[in-house]
Structure 1
């Protein structure tokens, strides 16, 4: 929805009441309310539904569960969804991450998962270790291994951003 500040407020209020209702459910239902763009006709509604389905898959992966998400708030993912030809994105993700993925297949490690958790935890080693139920040194070792495999350094913001973007694209294409 665009340019609908008043409607957003109403939607958020209704959603908050819905959340309170669900909190009484013993089954602990997981949900995400995904609000797409306004559609003037049936073909735009079909496109919006497709985008919403992709968005839900991405939101599930990045742990945006039990939240309300407006389409115009998903940033970089919205840009990814606008491309019909995903081959260049796939090529970029492969160029950056293939050494890590190949190593994971042979050594059965959790390097991709560790990188994702590290970025989710704002590059904080201790929070990443807590999230993964691992020791801080284990996380540190895994990230160092990623650096060795990719030639990218997590302390270099451009290289770190490249790793993060490749991960976002990888998960977007995998879940989409």
Structure 2
């Protein structure tokens, strides 16, 4: 998080986050889905479908379907640490930018 605070180019940070999350947000907006939040919870749960289902208040089969759809849309299997880290970093950047934009007058 310290890197975000010191980086002067917020547009670059936004592009980094959007590279990973934009396809999911677009799908969510078009289909009234919740793939963006499902992926976040899936990553935080260490890939546990049961924990993801509980965190998103859905059935395990729904979480499983969403994760498969996420993999299809992002063309990532979410198996490697690099892939998972890139998505988690995108979520952290996004949260930082959203928080910092709300605190600016």
TM-score w.r.t. the length of structure 2 is 0.84
Task: Give runs of ≥4 in structure 1 deviating > 6 Å.
Answer: none
1:100 Cα deviation (Å)? 0.9
**More relative contact order, 1 or 2 (CA 8 Å, 6+ apart):** 2
16, 28, 33: which one pairs with 1:92? 16
Unmatched segments (≥5 aa) in structure 1: 1-76
Which has the larger share of helix?
Answer: 2
Which is strand-richer, 1 or 2? 1
Aligned residues: 100
- Pick from 8, 20, 26 the counterpart of residue 102 of structure 1: 26
Cα displacement string for residues 69-109 of structure 1 (whole angstroms, at most 9, x for unaligned residues): xxxxxxxx222222122111111111221111111110011
Deviation at 1:116, TM superposition (A): 1.5
- Structure 2 unaligned runs (5+)? 101-105
Question: Is residue 92 of structure 2 the alignment partner of residue 168 of structure 1?
Answer: yes
Deviation at 1:134, TM superposition (A): 0.9
Aligned to 1:145: 69
Question: TM-score scaled by structure 1?
Answer: 0.53
The 8 Å contact of residues 153 and 160 in structure 1, kept in 2 or not, is answered as: no
Q: 1:122 matched to which residue of 2?
A: 46
Q: Who wins on radius of gyration, i.e. which is larger?
A: 1
